[in-house]
Amino acid sequence: MMNKELQDSLEILDSELKKQGISRRDAFKVAGLGSAAFLMGGSEAQAATSAVASDAKAKIVIVGGGLAGMSTAARLTNSLSNPDITVIEPASNSVSYQPGNTLIGAGIYTKSDIMYNTKDFVPSGVKVIKDKAVEFDPENNKVMTANGETVSYDFLIIAAGLKLDFGRIKGLEAVGELTTLGDASKQKDVFGDSGVTSIYTTDGAVETWKQMQKFVADAKSGKKVKGIFTHPNTAIKCGGAPKKIMYLTNSRLEEAGARANAELTFYPNGGAMFGVKEYHDAIVNQFKARDMKWQYKHNLVAVDVANKVATFDKHWQEKGEYDADLEEYEMVTKHENVEVPFDFMHITPPMKAPDEIGNSAVGSGKGYIPVNKETLQHVKYKNIFSLGDIAAVPMGKTGGSVRKQYKVLVDNLIATMEGKPLTSKYAGYTVCPLITDIGKVMLAEFNWTKKPTPSFPLDPTQERYIWWLMKVYMLKPMTQYGMLAGKA
């Protein structure tokens, strides 16, 4: 029976689509066949998920029970006739819908809209160890937990996600390292009522909405206010979120008739709005149309919460000495600290793999799990696979990426169990529903070609209401009841 939340979402979507003269079938093409089939139900869903179960047997351990880990566990359960799967996950709410944080931060969702209990999404027969993996012994196929339990495996899947490294920023040392769904009390204590916010923790997203309302109210009262939004010098999950919350702040100001009193500026560490030129160009035009400003190559290094001043490392390159042999100039990176006052500030924190994983034998020099970017198999240990935010895969840190990755991983893990070649390939597909306004989304889809790869025959650089409907009403239930069932 279809979950009531999903059924309610479908009814809302159908009503809105009817007004637009679009069928649900056509709309779901954007989500790809697997997701569309699941949400349409009936024979298409059965055809999309039916497969001959493999009789291969092995003890499989999954480190991380979030979206990536539990979706993989579900698909393995569907694909093996005699599965033996253990998930190591300490949190009781690990599968909650993290992409909804952006909508919480702008007052569109509430926290209760995205919170779920992990136990409700554990596939039948899967064992869960409610603990944290802290030591890895890949030579002997063992994982040790914080409580001292040793867990052996034939195959290991690492899907543990990332840490939010607020403590790397001067002035925020007391916040330390957080997880999106973990205890964010230190963040709340340090940020206080200062206007400093971050939607990268769920409780932080709740506070963001409170601070955003104060910011809008100040602007509406006639006060001239400044809002700043950052993007760090590390890889991050959901790379579009720093811009989404800026767009939504702009939208709330417009809604209040207070936009003229607010200056909004984006400070990314990089030199572009987006890694795909077509989307970069579209975003620049959107920023210009909304009178939103930006300063490239600014990395946040310090925050004076009490005095509401952010310090950025502004960096650029200049010509150095001339190399006569190479017939070119050496390029020298220059740095300058720039102080920026603010009334409202959204911080996207630096991110990293958990130290106990990144610094272990299964990690790499950069902390992430080194895998073949197409097969998702560890480059050194052939019985280890990884996916999601912690995998060293370019452009692969969104829920949409995981939707492609977990199917590839399951195919290749079973092929390895059966002694067959790994033929399934992840092509780098990533999707970012970039919220540009309340009621508008630009659906940025791309892969390693760094070219738009739209699933629907519409200009992908255009903001559309239909993508807003998909984002707000459909992606959450599709994720919770499609991916976490191993189907979508």
Catalytic annotation, residues: 238, 432
d(CA 123, CA 121): 6
- In a 13 Å sphere around the CA of 435, the CA atoms on its Cβ side amount to 29
Nearest to 138 by CA among 379, 391, 367, 353: 379
CA-to-CA dists, residue 479 to 116, 244, 313, angstroms: 12, 20, 38
144-153 core/surface letters (b: 16 or more CB in 10 A; e: else): bbeeeeebeb
Going by the DSSP 8-state scheme, the letter that residue 110 receives in this structure is -
Write out the DSSP string of 51-107: -PPB----EEEEE--SHHHHHHHHHHHHHBSS-EEEEE---TTTTS-GGGHHHHHTT
Helix (H, G, I), strand (E, B) or coil at 477: helix
Please give the biggest Cα pair distance in the chain: 73
Distance of CA 209 to the CA centre of its chain: 20
Nearest to 451 by CA among 332, 274, 283: 274
Please state whether 42 falls in left (phi above 0), alpha (psi between -120 and 50) or beta. left
405's CB contacts (< 8 A; 6+ apart) are 68, 376, 387, 388, 391, 393, 396, 426
Q: What is the CA radius of gyration of the chain?
A: 23
d(CA 181, CA 403): 20
Write out the DSSP string of 203-215: HHHHHHHHHHHHH
217-228 core/surface letters (b: 16 or more CB in 10 A; e: else): ebbbeeeebbbb
